[in-house]
Amino acid sequence: MNKEQLAKIVADKIEAALNASEHPKKFFITANGRGVTDGGDLYNALLKDVLGVVSVALVDIFQELAAASAKSSEKPAASAKASEKPAKVSTKK
């Protein structure tokens, strides 16, 4: 699976989760710390920015996991031999 396919899957899943949850659509905090409920453009821009960063991070994480999984499946004989060796247990006290 290439990066574009992963990005599409992540974007679809984030969109589905966003639509399934209820979140404040028009809310932001002013410079003096008060919450205002009619600032929809600012909230939506921030939400889009945060979800974009999360999407990029998830795609990179999934690519690294897929690469690690592919590497580990390429050499199963070596790891199987290492795990078959019995550990020496000392019974001396």
Q: Which two tokens stand for residue 69?
A: 């999984």
Q: What is the pLDDT of residues 12-63, one digit of tens each?
A: 999 998 888 776 656 656 777 776 665 567 767 788 889 999 999 999 999 9
**Predicted pLDDT at 88:** 57
DSSP for 4-49, please give it. Answer: HHHHHHHHHHHHHHHHHS---SS-EE-TTS-EESS-HHHHHHHHHH
**Partners of 36 in the β-ladder:** 28
Instruction: Determine if the pTM surpasses 0.85.
Output: no
**36: phi then psi, degrees, rounded to nearest 5:** -125, 135
